[in-house]
C-alpha cells in the first residue's frame, strides 16, 4: 500500500490540501503495514498544521483538533477525486494522547524535523523562529530611546506650530511627541483618523531634531507605497504654505517617496534570500512602514534583520483591518492590551511639548503605542456603520442599513434569483454615470475620475459573486462587443488593475488604469492604449503591448482595496455562503467608502460575517512575554 492508496481510505482531500500532503510525506515515514491508527492520527495532525498555516496562522493549538473528526467526506470545492464515495475521516483523540503520539514520533527520528510543540501548540520550526526573532528585536528596540531630554525653545515652538494646543487631548500630538522619544513606535487608527497627517508632521520634527539621519518610507505593496507617497505629497504641499518659515524650510528638503519592503530589501521573484540582510544592512536611520497590518511574519523578520543597530522604526496601520495574506497577525499582536495609559516618565517627556494629561500607568509596556480614534474624513453614516461592525452589534448595523435603504435582504425565504436580480439592479444603477462618461469623456483623465468614484467589492475571487464573475458581468454590460469573453477583448473604458510589479515602466501591483481609444469620437478605427492613474502627476500612458499582467478592475476583492478610497462602495456578500466573510473583511470593505456604502447580502450571511472574526493563532505574544522576562 502506498500513500495515495492510504489517503483514499480515510479522507477526501482538496487540491490545495494535496500539495500539503506531498510536503508532509517528505518528513513522514510511511509504514508498510498500512494499518497503524497512530500513524493516521499523526498524519492528520501534521496535515492540519499546514492547513492552519495556509489560513494565516503560525501555529495550531492542539485543543482545536482534539476529539474532532477531521477530513470526513469530500469538501465542496476543487477536489482531487480519488474516490467518489463518502470518506469517514480520522477521529482525533484527546489532547494529551495527541501530544503523546507526536512526542513518540519525534523521539524516533534520526534527522531534524520541522515540527515542534510549544505551549500545547504545534508549529513549524521556521515560523517559531520568525516570531522569536521579531520578539527579540522589538523587545530590544522598545527599551531604547532617542536621547532627547531637555528640549530647546525653538523645538517646542516648532512642535506647537505643527500641533496647536487643543481643548481636549490631541492624540496626534501625543503620537508626534512619542516619535521624538522612542526607537520603536506604533501609530494605530482607522481610516480618516489622520495617520498620514500625523506622519507628515513627525517627519518635519525628526528632520529638525535629527538633521543628519536618513529617513526611509516603505509599505508592503506597490499600491500602498504609491498611496503613501501621494498622501504625503498633499500634506507637504499644505505645510509648504505654513506661516512659519522654519516649517517651510524643512518641508522643502523632505521627500514623500515610498517604496515596497520587497524593493527595500532587494527581494527577487522566486528567491527567498534578499540583497539586504544581516550582513548588508539597509542604509537608513529611521524606517516608517505604512499599512503594517498587511505585513507577514516572514517579511518583517527579514526587514528587522536588515536594519542596522540604533535604527528607529515607526509602524503605521489599523488593527481593525484585515491581517496579512500570509502567516501572522503582527499589528494586532503588537497592540494587544494597549490603552491610553502612559507611564509617568513618558508623560513627563510629552509635557515638554503639550500639557495633556493621560491616565497614569504603573509600567511603560505600551508607552510606544498610540491609537487615533477621531475620524476626520469619512461622513458620519460610514463611521457609524464601521463602528457597529467593530462592536459586532448586528441590530445597530441592521437599523443603519435599513435607514440608508441598503439592499439587506431580510426575507428568510429569499431565493437566489431574487438576490441576483437585486444585484443586477444595483450594478446597473452604479454604472449609469460611467456609461455616460464613456460617451462624453474628452480625455482618459475624465474616465479615471469617474472610475475612481465607485467600486464593487467582493470577499472572493471565484464564482458568480466573486470579482471574476462580477467583472465579466460588468464588462458585458458596458462593452459594445456582444462576444466579450475575457480581458483578451479589451475595449474603450475598461478598468484594469496591474497585478505584478514592472519597475522598468514604473508600474506596481495594485496600480489602477483604464483602456482608452485614441480615436474615440473621431473614427471607427480603434487605437487602444493603457492609461494608468497617477494622483499627483499626469496619468501614465503606454501601449497595451507593454502592460505587465493585469485584470479587469470594476470589481475588486476587499483585500486588494486596502489603502484605497472611493466615493461609493457596493459590497457583494455571496448568496448562501459566508465562509470567506469576517468582521475584519466587512470593516475593511465599509471603510473604503468616503460617502456611501451599499451592501447586497442576505441577513443570515451578514449576521454570520459579523460574528466570524479573523482571530489568528500565533506565538508572537508568547515570545514577547518570554523576551520581557
Helix (H, G, I), strand (E, B) or coil at 468: helix
Tally of residues, the chain = 629
Give which of 34, 27, 33 is closest to 8, Cα–Cα.
34
CB 576 within 8 A of CB 416: yes
pLDDT of residue 106: 84
What domains can be seen in the chain, in order of their start residue? Answer: 3-118 (no CATH), 154-164+173-376 (3.40.50.300), 380-478+553-611 (3.40.50.300)
User: Checking DSSP bridges between strand 115-118 and strand 121-124, what pairing results, if any?
Assistant: antiparallel
Angle at which helix 297-305 crosses helix 125-142, to 10 degrees, equals: 50
Report the pLDDT value the prediction gives residue 21, as an integer from 0 to 100: 65
Report the distance separating Cα 383 and Cα 220, nearest Å: 26
Q: Quick: pLDDT tens for 290-301.
A: 999 999 999 999
Rounded distance between C-alpha atoms, residue 583 and residue 395, angstroms: 15
Whole-number Å distance between alpha carbons of 521 and 527: 12
**pLDDT at residue 575, as a whole number:** 86
How many CB atoms are located within 10 Å of the residue 626 CB? 14
pLDDT digits (tens, 9 = 90+) for 288-347: 999 999 999 999 999 999 999 999 999 999 998 888 889 999 999 999 766 667 788 888
Q: Which residue has the cell 518610507?
A: 217
Q: What's the gap between Cα 253 and its chain centre? A: 31
The phi and psi torsions of 164 (rounded to 5 degrees) equal -55, 145
Backbone angles phi, psi at 186, to 5 degrees: -120, 125
Cell matching residue 185: 513606535
Determine the pLDDT at residue 483.
38
Q: List pLDDT tens digits, range 24-76.
A: 666 665 544 445 678 888 888 888 898 899 889 999 999 999 998 887 765 44
End-to-end CA distance of the chain: 51
Strands 512-517 and 495-498: antiparallel
Low-confidence ranges of the chain (pLDDT < 70): 1-36, 73-88, 269-270, 337-340, 361-365, 377-379, 404-413, 480-488, 520-525, 535-536, 577-578
What is the pLDDT at residue 118? Answer: 93
From CA 256, how far away is CA 217, in angstroms rounded?
A: 8
**pLDDT value at position 343?**
83
Instruction: Please give the Cα distance from 95 to 115 (Å, whole number).
Output: 17
Buried b (16+ CB within 10 A) or exposed e, 142-179: beebbeeeebeeebeebbebbbeeeeeebbbbbbbbbb
Four-point Cα dihedral 441, 445, 450, 453, nearest 10 = -170
Sign, Cα dihedral of 384, 386, 389, 391: negative
Tell me the C-alpha distance between 601 and 619, whole Å.
35
Amino acid at each position: 500500500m502506498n500513500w495515495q492508496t492510504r489517503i483514499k481510505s480515510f479522507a477526501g482531500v482538496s487540491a490545495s490540501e494535496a500539495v500539503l500532503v506531498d510536503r508532509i510525506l517528505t518528513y513522514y515515514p510511511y509504514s508498510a503495514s498500512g494499518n497503524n491508527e497512530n500513524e493516521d492520527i499523526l498524519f492528520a495532525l501534521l496535515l492540519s498544521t499546514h492547513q492552519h498555516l495556509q489560513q494565516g496562522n503560525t501555529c495550531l493549538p492542539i485543543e482545536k483538533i482534539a476529539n474532532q473528526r477531521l477530513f470526513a467526506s469530500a469538501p465542496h470545492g476543487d477536489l482531487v477525486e480519488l474516490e467518489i464515495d463518502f470518506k469517514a475521516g480520522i477521529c482525533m483523540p484527546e489532547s494529551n494522547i495527541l501530544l503523546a503520539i507526536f512526542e513518540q514520533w519525534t523521539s524516533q527520528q534520526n534527522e531534524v524535523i520541522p515540527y515542534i510543540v510549544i505551549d500545547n501548540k504545534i508549529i513549524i520550526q521556521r515560523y517559531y523562529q520568525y516570531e522569536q526573532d521579531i520578539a527579540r528585536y522589538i523587545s530590544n528596540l522598545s527599551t531604547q530611546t532617542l536621547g532627547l531630554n531637555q528640549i530647546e525653545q525653538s523645538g517646542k515652538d516648532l512642535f506647537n506650530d505643527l500641533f496647536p494646543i487643543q481643548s481636549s487631548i490631541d492624540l496626534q500630538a501625543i503620537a508626534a511627541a512619542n516619535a521624538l522619544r522612542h526607537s520603536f513606535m506604533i501609530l494605530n487608527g482607522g481610516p480618516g483618523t489622520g495617520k498620514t497627517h500625523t506622519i507628515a508632521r513627525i517627519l518635519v520634527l525628526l528632520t529638525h531634531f535629527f538633521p543628519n539621519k536618513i529617513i526611509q518610507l516603505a509599505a508592503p505593496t506597490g499600491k500602498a507605497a504609491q498611496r503613501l507617497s501621494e498622501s504625503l505629497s498633499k500634506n507637504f504641499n499644505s505645510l509648504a504654505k505654513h506661516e512659519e518659515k522654519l516649517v517651510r524650510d524643512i518641508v522643502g528638503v523632505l521627500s514623500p517617496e515610498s517604496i515596497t519592503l520587497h524593493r527595500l530589501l532587494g527581494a527577487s521573484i522566486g528567491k527567498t534570500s534578499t540583497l539586504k540582510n544581516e550582513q548588508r544592512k539597509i542604509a537608513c536611520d529611521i524606517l516608517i512602514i505604512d499599512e503594517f497590518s498587511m505585513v507577514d511574519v516572514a517579511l518583517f523578520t527579514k526587514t528587522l534583520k536588515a536594519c542596522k543597530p540604533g535604527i528607529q522604526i515607526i509602524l503605521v496601520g489599523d488593527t481593525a483591518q484585515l491581517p496579512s495574506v500570509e502567516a501572522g497577525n503582527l499589528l494586532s499582536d503588537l497592540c494587544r492590551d494597549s490603552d491610553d495609559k502612559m507611564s509617568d516618565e513618558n508623560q513627563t517627556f510629552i509635557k515638554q511639548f503639550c500639557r495633556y494629561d493621560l491616565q497614569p500607568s504603573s509600567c511603560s509596556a505600551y508607552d510606544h503605542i498610540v491609537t487615533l480614534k477621531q475620524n476626520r474624513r469619512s461622513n458620519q453614516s460610514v463611521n457609524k456603520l464601521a463602528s457597529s461592525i467593530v462592536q459586532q452589534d448586528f441590530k445597530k448595523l441592521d437599523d443603519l442599513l435599513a435607514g440608508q435603504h441598503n439592499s439587506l435582504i431580510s426575507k428568510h425565504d429569499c431565493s437566489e434569483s431574487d438576490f441576483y436580480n437585486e444585484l443586477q439592479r444595483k450594478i446597473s444603477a452604479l454604472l449609469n454615470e460611467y456609461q455616460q462618461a464613456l460617451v462624453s469623456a474628452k480625455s482618459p483623465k475624465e474616465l479615471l475620475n469617474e472610475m475612481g468614484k465607485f467600486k464593487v467589492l467582493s470577499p472572493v475571487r471565484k464564482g458568480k459573486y466573486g470579482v471574476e464573475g462580477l467583472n465579466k458581468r460588468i464588462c458585458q454590460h458596458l462593452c459594445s462587443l456582444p462576444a466579450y469573453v475575457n480581458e483578451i477583448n479589451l475595449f474603450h473604458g475598461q478598468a484594469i488593475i496591474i497585478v505584478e510589479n514592472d519597475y522598468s515602466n514604473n508600474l506596481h501591483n495594485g496600480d489602477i488604469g483604464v483602456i482608452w481609444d485614441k480615436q474615440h469620437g473621431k473614427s471607427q478605427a480603434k487605437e487602444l492604449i493603457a492609461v494608468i492613474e497617477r494622483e499627483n502627476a499626469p496619468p501614465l500612458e503606454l501601449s497595451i503591448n507593454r502592460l505587465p499582467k493585469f485584470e479587469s478592475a470594476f470589481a475588486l476583492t476587499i483585500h486588494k482595496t486596502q489603502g484605497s478610497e472611493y466615493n461609493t462602495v457596493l459590497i457583494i456578500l455571496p448568496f448562501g455562503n459566508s465562509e470567506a466573510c469576517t468582521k475584519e473583511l466587512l470593516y475593511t470593505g465599509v471603510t473604503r467608502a468616503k460617502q456611501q456604502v451599499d451592501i447586497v447580502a442576505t441577513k443570515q450571511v451578514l449576521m454570520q460575517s459579523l460574528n466570524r472574526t479573523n482571530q489568528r493563532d500565533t506565538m508572537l505574544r508568547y515570545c514577547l512575554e518570554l523576551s520581557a522576562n
